[in-house]
Amino acid sequence: MQTPSGHPVESTPAKRLVVLVSGGGSNLAALLAAHDDGAYGARVVGVLTDNPAAGALELARDAGVASVVVSPKDFEDRAAWNDGVAEAVAVFRPDLVVLAGFMRILAPSFVRRYEGRLINTHPALLPSFPGAHGVRDALAHGVKVTGCTVHLVDDGVDTGPIIAQVAVPVLDGDDEHALHERIKVAERALLVETVGRVAREGLYVVGRKVTIG
C-alpha cells in the first residue's frame, strides 16, 4: 500500500487470535479460511484443545498453525488444568481469545486476564438456552426461531455482554442435528464477521451494551 505521494504505508498488524476448540472445528475452519486475507485484520496464531481427538488439530496442522492439547486427563486437578490452559494460551501472546465450541468452563482468573478480549460463540439466542445443549434445549422448548450469539465471556455460563446475534428459523421436522447444522452455517458467517470487525475496529462496553468501533 502507498500514499498518493508514493510513500509506503505501514498497515496495522493483524490481531493475534488464539482459538479454543473441543470438537470438529467448523468455526475454526471458517476463521482459518478468512485470516489469509490481509484486510481481515486478524490471524489465528494458535489453537488449543482439551480433546486430543479434536478435528481442530488437523485443521490447524493443514493451515500451518501451531496447536496444543491441554487435556484434563494430564493434570492432577481442575486448578492445575486451568493453569495449564492459561500458560499455553499466553505463549501465543493473543490479542483476542475465541472460544469456538470449547465445551469447558474457564477459571475466573483466565476470564479476568482476557476481559474484553475473550469471545464465545453459542448456538442459541442468549439469554435463552445457555449451556452445553443450547440447540437441544431450544428444540425441546418448542421455539419457532432460534439462532446464534457471539458474546464476551464473563464469569457466568454464556452470560456475558452480547456482541452480535443472528436468528435461524426452526423448521417442522427439525431434529437437533439438522437444526444445529443450519445454525452452524449462520454461526460461521457471524463469527468470522464479528471477530474481524472487533479486530479491525475494537469494541467498547457500557454496562451490558457492546458497540464495535
Active site residues: 122
CB 101 within 8 A of CB 121: yes
Which span (33-41, 83-91, 96-104, 137-145) binds ligand GAR, by CB under 6 A? 96-104
Which position's Cβ is nearest ligand GAR? 101
Which of 53/80 has CB closer to ligand GAR?
53
Q: State which of residues 123, 147, 160, 196 lies at the interface with ligand GAR (CB under 6 A).
A: 123
Q: How far is the CB of 131 from ligand GAR (least distance, A)?
A: 6
Q: Which stretch binds ligand GAR (CB under 6 A): 77-85, 97-105, 168-176, 195-203?
A: 97-105
Q: How far is the CB of 193 from ligand GAR (least distance, A)?
A: 15
Q: How far is the CB of 124 from ligand GAR (least distance, A)?
A: 8
Task: Select the residue interacting with ligand GAR from 85, 139, 184, 198 (CB under 6 A).
Answer: 184
Judged by CB under 6 A, the residue of 100, 118, 125, 195 near ligand GAR is: 100
Q: 3-state secondary structure string, the chain?
A: CECCCCCECCCCCCEEEEEEECCCCHHHHHHHHHCCCCCCCEEEEEEEECCCCCHHHHHHHHHCCCEEECCHHHCCCHHHHHHHHHHHHHHCCCCEEEECCCCCCCCHHHHHHCCCCEEEEECCCCCCCCCCCHHHHHHHHCCCEEEEEEEECCCCCCCCCEEEEEEEECCCCCCHHHHHHHHHHHHHHHHHHHHHHHHHHCEEEECCEEEEC
- Does residue number 168 form part of the binding site for ligand GAR (CB under 6 A)? no
Q: Which residues here bind ligand GAR, judged by CB under 6 A?
A: 21, 23-27, 100-101, 103, 121-123, 132, 134, 184, 187
